[in-house]
Amino acid sequence: MIWKPSYYVIPREDRTCPNCSLKEIEDDCESQVELRQHIDSLADDLKRIAEQQVVPVDLEPYVKKLNSSRRRVMLVNNILQNVQERLNKLNNHVLKETAKRKATLDPT
């Protein structure tokens, strides 16, 4: 693979929110990556079969459908990553605001 999904470039500690449960989003992102890898593998297998044998069935439409599915999976994965990043930023903002308010209410 030439490129790595940005999900794997972000350090693990930055991908999760310490005070809220984002496990579902993280699990969804990982399952999307796995699904994309399976689709890539299946598309490669179909291409190899089509190249090696005279197949009575044209596999090209199926390869195109798999590639289309792959693009949709990548799109969903990117959306999930963006949502997780926004939630992390929101959580950081809430933590900062909470710390400020605690400091003003409890000056000791």
pLDDT tens, N- to C-terminus, the chain (108 residues): 344 444 444 455 555 545 445 677 777 778 888 888 888 888 888 888 878 877 577 878 988 998 899 899 889 989 988 999 999 999 999 999 999 998 888 876
**DSSP calls for 24-64:** HHHHHHHHHHHHHHHHHHHHHHHHHHHHHS--SS--HHHHH
| For the chain, domain boundaries | 22-105
The CA-atom distances, in angstroms, between 52 and each of 45, 48, 61 are 11, 6, 17
Residue 34's pLDDT is what? 86
Query: Which positions ≥6 away from 105 have C-beta within 8 Å?
Result: none
